[in-house]
Each structure stands twice: as C-alpha cells, then as structure tokens.
Chains A and B, each alone.
Chain A
Amino acid sequence: EDQVTQSPEALRLQEGESSSLNCSYTVSGLRGLFWYRQDPGKGPEFLFTLYSAGEEKEKERLKATLTKKESFLHITAPKPEDSATYLCAVQAGNYGGSQGNLIFGKGTKLSVKP
C-alpha cells in the first residue's frame, strides 16, 4: 500500500537552531515528491518538487533532498516566521489519469521561538 510518513509530528526550535524534517514513503513508481508549507487556517503553499533520487532544491533557508526511500527538508538558521506545518506528498505512477491524487503525510508542525 502506498503511504507517506512524516516525522517528527511536532518540532520546536530556537531561532537559529538548524534541523531537518523527514518524509519516508513507499509508493509504486514515484512520479514526484512535493513539499508544501501550511499556515493555520490557510491552504498549502507549494515549496518544492523533487523527481529523482539525488535531486536537491533550495529556497531561502529551506533545502529539500530526495533518496529512493525518503526526503528531508533541511531548515538552516530558522526564524519565527518559518513556523508552520510542513506537508510532504508523493505522486505515484500508477494512478492513471488522476494526476492530482497526491498521497499526503500528516505533516510536521514546526515552531520556532525567538
């Protein structure tokens, strides 16, 4: 069964304290892995898409990496405004025409204290 597991469920950091969020997945033929940021009461905001193992992408203090079994979202020197829930999702290759059938993890809630 295709599934996505994110860890930890919650992470509290001090401002400037770097860390990583994990997204492990089992899927039949990975088409793409997505990272989103979601603020309370808002829709998810797209961050990155990764397509193949070894791929890396960066945006400001965030860096996403991908292996054949998991993805990491590295946060370098976080600031309080980085506080949000970070969602990981995979798009499997066996979902026919339903390209939007992303399999989402439950997210990691990140809190960055000043």
Chain B
Amino acid sequence: SQTIHQWPATLVQPVGSPLSLECTVEGTSNPNLYWYRQAAGRGLQLLFYSVGIGQISSEVPQNLSASRPQDRQFILSSKKLLLSDSGFYLCAWSLRTMRNTIYFGEGSWLTVV
C-alpha cells in the first residue's frame, strides 16, 4: 500500500529565515505530487504540483518555491519567510490517471514570528 510522509510536523520560524518542508511517497512510482496550504477559515489552496522529476507548476504567485529532486520526493522552500506564510501545509499525491484521487499527508504547521 502507498504511504506519504511529511516533516517536520511543526515549526516556528522567524521572519526572514529560510524554510524547507519535505515529503516522500512510498509504494508507488511516478506519482503526481502536490503542495497545498490551509489557512484558518479558508479552504485548501493548491500551491504547486509536479508530474515528474524537475517539473514544477505554480498555481499562485507567492514567496515559496517547490522542487522535485527524486521521483517520490517533493520539497517546499522559501529563502525568506513572511508573516503571511504561516499556515498548515499539506503534501499530497495521486496516480497519473484521468480519474485520480488526491491523498494527503499529515501536514506541517508553520508559524512565522
């Protein structure tokens, strides 16, 4: 069966500091990978998606970037965090089929102070 791991689970970072959130998927090959953000009182918003190694698409302009150095690894980064970057970040994966279900990781709570 497939599993998705995301870390760290919680972090508190000062404004202007860098960020790196990591996500790995096990039990499948060539998955689509996604980063979502869930802000308080709002629905989940897609930030980035990737259909393969080195292939990243951004859905919204922002202070964040994503990379996919390996088939089942997805990284969310920032060079300088802003207060507005605080939120709950979720990594997710799906198969590459027309009818695909998105499966989410456990999430990472980021507080920028």
Chain B contact residues, majority secondary structure: strand
Q: Are B43 and A100 in contact (CB under 8 A)?
A: no
Count residues on chain B whose CB falls below 8 Å from chain A CBs. 27
Q: Which of A39-47, A58-66, A71-79 lies on the face that meets chain B?
A: A39-47
- Closest-by-CB residue of B relative to A49 is B101
CB-based contact A43/B106 at 8 Å: yes
Number of A-B contacts (CB under 8 A): 65
**Chain A: interface residue total (CB-CB under 8 A):** 26
Contact B101 A102 (CB under 8 A): no
| A49-B99 in contact (CB<8A) | yes
A29 contacts the other chain (CB 8 A): no
A103 to B45, CA, bound (A): 8
**Are B44 and A100 neighbours in the complex by a CB distance under 8 Å?**
no
Q: Which residues of A contact B99 (CB under 8 A)?
A: 31-32, 49, 51
In angstroms, how far is the closest chain B Cβ from the Cβ of A24? 14
* Complex interface bits, B73-111 against A, C-beta within 8 A gives 1, otherwise 0: 000000000000000001010100011111111110100
Report yes or no: B59 in contact with A101, Cβ–Cβ below 8 A: yes
Kindly state whether residue B41 has any CB partner on chain A within 8 Å.
yes
Most buried by B among A31, A44, A89, A97: A44
A98–B46 alpha-carbon span in the complex (Å): 10
A97 touches B102 (CB 8 A): no
**6 A-B contact pairs sorted by A residue (CB < 8 Å):** A87-B44, A98-B57, A101-B46, A101-B59, A106-B42, A106-B43
